[in-house]
Structure 1
């Protein structure tokens, strides 16, 4: 059970973490736009573009990172294309998520590999946007997201700049993420890690806890 006190710093990934596997259609709608952008840049067919999107995600951490490395694409051009709202699906209102988040005593952040407008719009649709102190999006990470070490270093610097803490105590930082490759560098920094995943796959040693979705997380309150 995770300790819940005012000194705990909660970092949430957005996709498949703040909304659940049951709403995968949300992410699928975004992935389709990403594949279409890859198709536009490479001039290939859609099926090939989907393969390349997944290849870049695997090899570079994000599709954008692969496109930047190979073709020098502009991050804002990429996100302006994939975030066209009329082509996207957003999560449903989620009062239960709001109730859970508001029970968490420490500061809450979104730490995402997407540009912040995607998670901001989704959180507003769910009714949880004001539960977070700030969204730290890819634009705040110099376009180098998780699992790049620089992303975690930048997140720590944000916490200090925001006055959340004067010094980083890694054991006080909790990252919830659906991606093991994003959790491993966090664990290596001493952060606590929670894998949000509904499969039966056992958690690796660097994961402190695995939950089906965030509202299944057990927390223990303690006065600070």
Structure 2
């Protein structure tokens, strides 16, 4: 991302890295900041920053089994693009575990944590927040779903205390197994 910002804005690495972090904090994603402040085309950015290798990711058959055993409709919603999410799922051995995959493009390029972004994706999929749960690694992205009536689970190595986080786990597979 930093390299793309450097090239697109013609700035040095330190400034590009500062802008990338600033936009992420202020807008929810670097892309949203680039769009808001520089009128950048999201398609070119998403294609460039998601053109990466997935060698570091390993399949997790136990997690795949736990996700597949969950009742109801299972969707992925990411601030990345849907094609990127599909590649991540494939690298983790999770292809076929979800009924739908939504990227930032499905929310009109509005990012999580914006409530309107969630509303757009949930309406598109027919999600009833009162009958759903949101699993997320960024605590900011759980506030809107919680306010909409969803159960919320923070998935990260370190817990984050906030009123909109109902559960925390650093072991998603184990957490899902305990739910069942």
Q: TM-score, normalised by structure 2?
A: 0.92
1:118: how far off?
Answer: 1.0
Matched, 1:52 2:10: no
Alignment of 1:143-158 (within 5 A): 143-158=109-124
Name 1:173's counterpart in structure 2: 132
1:155: how far off?
Answer: 2.0
- 2: CA distance between counterparts of 1:154 and 1:48? 33
Alignment of 1:61-210 (within 5 A): 61-85=28-52, 89=55, 91-160=57-126, 168=128, 170-199=129-158, 201-210=159-168
- 2: CA distance between counterparts of 1:42 and 1:202? 34
Deviation string for 1:45-91 (max 9, x for gaps)?
212211110110000111000001111111111012112235x6552
When the two chains are superposed, the root-mean-square deviation of aligned CA atoms in Å is 1.7
Deviation string for 1:103-123 (max 9, x for gaps)?
211111001111111110111
Matched, 1:215 2:173: yes
Unaligned runs of 5+ in 2: none
- 1: CA distance between counterparts of 2:141 and 2:122? 15
Q: Which has the higher contact order (CA 8 A, sep 6+)?
A: 1
Number of residue pairs aligned between Structure 1 and Structure 2: 179
Q: TM-score, normalised by structure 1?
A: 0.75
- 2: CA distance between counterparts of 1:92 and 1:174? 25
1:131: how far off?
Answer: 0.5
Cα gap change, 1:53 to 1:202, in 2 (>3 Å): closer
- 2: CA distance between counterparts of 1:119 and 1:48? 28
- 1: CA distance between counterparts of 2:160 and 2:46? 34
